Structure 1
Amino acid sequence: MNWRLFPILAVTGLAACSSEARIAALRDSAIRLQQARTQAWVNCSAGADCDRLWTLTKKYVAQRSVTPIRRADDTAIETAEPLYVWATRTTDDTGASTIRLKGMCRGMYRADGNPGWLYTSCARQIRAVETDFRAYLGAAS
């Protein structure tokens, strides 16, 4: 065997393993983030109860965001970057509402939509915010 090729083959093998591990970690992170996002909502049926939950949502966003709330009204609550958190409230004709929470980070995605260099750390932060949302509203009930 040509011993000069050994370091090249070793580095190539390590890079392939590293890439596979990185791809697996990104896939796992994306799955866990999607699971958190599917749970980051709550329904309410009475106007007064929905108003109370919306007030708690604003408090939750303020407590969990690293930046202050820049907009808050009857239908949306938004913070600024770098960890952008927003909540929406949609109300139907009966007064029932759905309140949803979502987060995003600057640098989380590249311009082509693929994961960016901050994806893993951002996803971890967002999961924490989105996963605890329903429990917070339930515990505060």
Structure 2
Amino acid sequence: MNNGRMAVFALLMIILAGCSTEESRTAARRDTEVALETAREQAHVDCSSAADCERLWTRTRLYVAQRSATPIRRADDTAIETAEPHTFGTVYVWATRTSSASGVSTIQVKGMCRGMYRADGNPGWLYGTCARQIRSVEAEFRSFIGAAS
């Protein structure tokens, strides 16, 4: 009888540990998503004069070329796109430039990473690695652009 109670107790402890581990993974994933969203919201600059916008767009192209693991495959006045990498866990970067009716243009960068999400939209096996790299690329964009003179 005592061995039976010990076995039940041990099983309960294993179940509780599993629940605790899953809760901590869920909380960590939620924190990572919040950090990614914050970085993405800050990964843009606005400009209004043609000369300023052109200078920032040129700096953006340099930033994309330096930060993406793959080369630029298309670049024009509204988009800079790099090729998708063949390897998983590799960050590639795109940028867009949009104009509003008020004459303000917004330049935004976006980091992407193969293997970050599974086909069903849930985090993939390289989620943490990809998230750290993307957050870095997106969070550092403004300071890189601000360094231009």
TM-score normalised by structure 1 residue count = 0.90
Partner of residue 63, structure 2: 60
Unaligned 5+ residue runs, structure 2?
none
Q: Would you say 1:129 and 2:105 are equivalent positions?
A: no
C-alpha distance in structure 2 between counterparts of 1:98 and 1:55, whole Å? 14
Cα RMSD for the two superposed structures = 1.7
Percent identical pairs in the alignment equals: 61
CA deviations over 1:3-50 (Å, ceiling 9, x no partner):
222332222122111101100100000000000011011111111111
Q: Does the 8 Å contact 2:47/2:106 carry over to 1?
A: yes
- Superposed structure 1 runs of 4+ greater than 6 Å apart: none
**CA contact under 8 A between 2:40 and 2:138: conserved in structure 1?**
yes
SS at match of 2:96: strand
SS in 1 for 2:119: coil
Q: Are the aligned partners of 1:43 and 1:98 in contact in 2 as well (CA < 8 Å)? A: yes
Match of 1:85 in 2: 93
* Residue of structure 2 aligned with 1:106, choices 102, 114, 136: 114
Opposite residue 96 of structure 2, the aligned amino acid is T
Unaligned runs of at least 5 residues, structure 1: none
Write the mapping of 1:1-141 to structure 2, written as runs, cut at 5 A. 1=2, 2-79=5-82, 80-81=84-85, 82-92=90-100, 96-141=104-149
Give yes or no for contact 1:40–1:102 (8 Å, CA) kept in 2: yes
In 1, the alpha carbon distance for the partners of 2:54 and 2:48 equals 10
Aligned partners of 1:47 and 1:96 also within 8 Å: no
